[in-house]
Structure 1
Amino acid sequence: MNLKNKIVTVIGLGNSGVNAANLLSDAGAVVRATDSQDTPATREAQAALEKRNIKVEIGGHTENFIKGSRLIVVSPGVKESSVALQWAKEHHITIISELELGFRFSKGRIIAVTGTNGKSTVTTLIGEILKSGGKDTVVCGNIGNSLCQEIARIKDDTWVVIEVSSFQLERIEKFRPEIALILNITDDHMDRYNNFNDYFSVKSKIFRNQTADDILILNYDAPYLRDLKKKTRSNVIFYSKKEGSSDAYVKDGWVTCVSEGKIRRIARISDIRLKGAHNLENVLASAIAGLRAGVREDSIGRTVKNFIGLEHRFETVDTIDGVEYVDDSKGTTVDSTCRALESCDRPVILIAGGRDKLSDYTVIRGILRERVRQVILIGEAKERIRSSLDGTVESIFADTMPQAVELAGRFAKGGEIVLLSPMCSSFDMFRDYKHRGEVFKEAVKKLKTRRVPI
């Protein structure tokens, strides 16, 4: 991609935007960067970019800053309603995502993972499978470093495993993964999309540019994904918890895959440290992706058995007086909380709430009746969640996470589970889901300290 001496403007100065600006500068472009917010974070980004002679405006956008650009690169967090994007359209300037920019500079072989839930676990596990199998591997995207930040590390034989969000897929043009995975698509980000069909359509862009030489891995147990086989030129591979129409499935207590016409046993389910039906799906998807990338089944089996999962994803924090405290702060959707509750084999005290994404909370009513004894609600969405759950299970409000943990500790009985699985984003009270999980863990730690007999 030749951008030397061409004016390129980056909209949004989060991690992705800053890395895109740096990559563009390295490529010889005349780079501008703009952000609507004036915060300590954007000021820090401004100072770093201006040292590279990149012109930056923060605290608002101006049309003159956009006008004259050959290309616009938009960060994932920037909404379609942004005035900067409207000006770019009026001036007929090409707009692409940071993901698309990174793809155009990347030399590697790409595995892209999307879905509403499980993306980070699968992306990380595939990365570990490839590394253990002797493959040069870079893991990036929505999970950590952006693709643009990793370009210098990527060679022709590098496998690049990317966690891809719907926001990143909105403005792709040529992005084409060699292997694409769609794990599931359920109600999410209704504060950004008009309806579920719009969200589903954007997620489906991950395979738009694939050909018959490429692989699309789909969850057969999600019926709405099966029909995608009719809408793609890709070589479609299904995985399922049941044996049947899939190349990765469970049989006789084993994760089993079919590759090159042979049945390959990967690992006994009893030996896998990741727990829960949703994580079994994640293992199946990761295993078949690893096989198709050329990793031996024995190597995949060892990696799967040693993989302990990710922080803030159904992670046991501690057990106090017989009560297990579980951090599932990454559970930012209703469906992810449903999956977490399905993995609980004992009564649950659920801590939920945060910034509302206009999700339909009524769909969780059934499993709440089955698994949950008490709900403690926090954050901006607490009133709406309580209204949606009315009559299902008793709920109370807490003003802070430490207060929620304290209340949960009073309600919970020995043998029960206190589960933080919010169903919402974290930005009303915390920096991000990691910060929310850290505050939960610290509150659990303090609760234990107060209860330890002297």
Structure 2
Amino acid sequence: MDLAGLNVLVVGAGKSGRAASRFLVSKGARVTLTDAKGADAFAGIQEEAPGVELVLGAYPQVEPGRWDLVVVSPGVPVTVEPVTAARAAGIPVIGELELAWRFCRAPVVAITGTNGKTTTTALVGEVFRHAGKNTLVAGNIGVPFISGVERYGPGDVVVLEVSSFQLETAPTFRPRVAAILNITPDHIDRHRSLEAYIEAKAAIFKNQTPDDYTVLNYDDPITAALASRCSGQVIFFSRRHRLEQGIYLQEGQIMTAGSRGSYRICPAGSLRIPGGHNLENALAAAAAAWVMGVRPDVIGEALTGFRGVPHRLEEVGMVNGVRYINDSKGTNPDAAIKALEAFREPIVLIAGGRNKGNSFQEFAARFPGRVRALVVLGESAEDIAQAAREQGLERILRAADLKDAVRLSRDNAEPGDVVLLSPACASWDMFKSYEERGDLFREIVKRMAAEG
């Protein structure tokens, strides 16, 4: 892809947009970076993107002849004016994922799904590193793919966390291994229907050939049903069924079976990341590494040594006999349900934020017998509280902010309990990101522990 001399409009001035802009400038393109947010939201941006023209606070007009290419960031809906106008004018529109893909020389393992993407991506990266591979772990996990793509060649591996937003603007993306962990309703506010959301996820394998692999969750009906649409070789993983080919559990052991025979990888009980959902993540990671030729014993060593990722069931402190768990990445009800199910202790739950078009009824249905008290905050506080009241939960407290939520949780927890931040919502009503929310939670807990 020759970018020299092209006029490129990058829409979205977040981390991905800035990285794409720097890359485009390095290739000789004339770049304009735009965002609907004003300059006050992007302190120091000019220093981060030297040589880039900035248009902040409003989008520039898009008309035929002005731009040769539009690159849209994943956080920007494809319905915004610059994107729709570009498509109407016949100007190519791609995302940062697609831009990086066109310069990628290394085989790619791409992971998507409603929940578990970050943990599984980090885990797959750990397996390949343990196998001695020079490995880039990037994508929706927080490192833009474009920022490191040219440093990796055919003998290396790129492991990507890929979101439905990124797949919307990646028309030629073709990973060597594509994994879909699960699909449950999420981002309906953007995709408008579950069916459209499923199609966005399925785009991860649309360009694959019979030489590629598609890893699917055998236990998830929506995901398993996609097998008939795959052009690549389908590899299932399951924690409930013994498979003739794939990764599965047998008498407490993670096993692999296929044309090369059946092999033990490691005991499921030796995993350090809690919860049945994390067992599924480990099975998926094993499948992705197995089809790329990593030995079972190497996979097992990496799985059992992995301690998890920040903001996903991360233990941040013990105060007066109460464990505090940061699951800020639980940004939808299904993810928060998995967090609840990971603990046997009574839970004081902190939940709330911006709803992404989901119902909280099934989430609240898991409260009886698990949740001692519920602390709600943010835009969805009353919706979650009402769903909890319908399940008979009486101890429901409203917090003004996260600091207040931690204080209320402390006051309502007993020794042996778990205080769990698993919001079931996005963070955007009160924070810039789930990371910022989780970092503040961690800081509040550590300060509280220091004070005694």
TM-score by length of 2: 0.95
Instruction: Single out whichever of 211-220 and 37-46 deviates more from structure 2.
Output: 37-46
Superimposed CA distance per residue, residues 238-279 of structure 1 (whole angstroms, 9 cap, x where no aligned partner) = 000023235111111111112443111111122211111011
The answer to whether the 8 Å contact 1:406/1:447 transfers is no
> Which residue is 1:384 aligned to?
383
User: Are 1:428 and 2:429 counterparts?
Assistant: yes
Deviations 1:358-381, CA, capped at 9 Å, x for gaps: 211111132112311211001111
CA offsets 1:287-333 (integer angstroms, 9 cap, x no match): 12111112111111111111100111111222233222111111111
1:36-435 alignment runs, 5 A limit: 36-42=36-42, 44-49=44-49, 51-52=50-51, 54-63=52-61, 67-245=65-243, 247-392=246-391, 393-394=393-394, 395-435=396-436
The alpha-carbon distance between structure 1 residues 107 and 411, as it changes in their structure 2 partners (threshold 3 A), is same
Paired with 2:48 and 2:277, the residues of 1 have a C-alpha distance of: 41
Whole-Å Cα distance in 1 between the matches of residues 449 and 166 of structure 2?
Answer: 41
Query: Which amino acid is 1:414 matched to?
Result: P
Alpha-carbon distance between aligned partners in 1 of 2:6 and 2:268, rounded to the nearest angstrom: 54
**Equivalent-residue separation in structure 2 for 1:212 and 1:25 (angstroms):** 37
State the 1:36 CA deviation.
1.4
Distance 1:64 1:169, change over 3 A: closer
Range moving further from structure 2, 283-292 or 364-373: 364-373
- Would you say the 8 A contact 2:62–2:86 is kept in 1? no
Secondary structure of 1:370 counterpart: coil
User: Does the 8 A contact of 2:63 with 2:85 survive in 1?
Assistant: no
> 2:161 is aligned with what amino acid?
E
User: What corresponds to 2:19 in structure 1?
Assistant: 19
Alpha-carbon distance in structure 2 between the residues aligned to 1:64 and 1:297: 53
**Inter-partner Cα distance in structure 1 for 2:338 and 2:241:** 21
SS of residue paired to 1:216: strand
After TM superposition, list the pairs within 5 Å mapping 1:430-449 onto structure 2.
430-449=431-450
The DSSP-based 3-state class of the residue aligned with 1:192 is: helix
Of stretches 247-256 and 319-328 in structure 1, the one that deviates more from structure 2 is 319-328
CA contact (8 A) 1:74 1:96 kept: yes
Counterparts of 1:409 and 1:379, CA distance in 2: 19
Distance 1:269 1:186, change over 3 A: same
Instruction: Determine the C-alpha separation between the residues in 2 that align with 1:26 and 1:311.
Output: 32
- Partners of 1:47 and 1:83 in 2: CA distance: 27
- Shift of residue 335 of structure 1? 0.3
What root-mean-square deviation, in Å, do the aligned CA atoms of Structure 1 and Structure 2 show?
Answer: 1.6
Secondary structure of the 1:209 match is coil
Please state whether the residue corresponding to 2:375 is helix, strand or coil.
Answer: strand
Q: 1:420 to 1:64 in 2, by over 3 A?
A: closer
**Letter of the 1:91 counterpart:** A
**410-419 or 126-135: which moved more?**
410-419
How far did residue 43 of structure 1 move? 5.2
- Of 164-173 and 5-14, deviating more is 5-14
Deviation at 1:142, TM superposition (A): 0.6
Structure 1: 5+ residue stretches without partners: none
SS at match of 1:130: helix
Cα distance between partner residues in 2 of 1:138 and 1:47: 26
**Contact preservation (8 Å) 1:426, 1:432:** yes
Q: Supply the distance in 2 between the matched residues of 1:365 and 1:64 (Cα, whole angstroms).
A: 46
Q: Which runs of 5+ in 2 are unaligned?
A: none
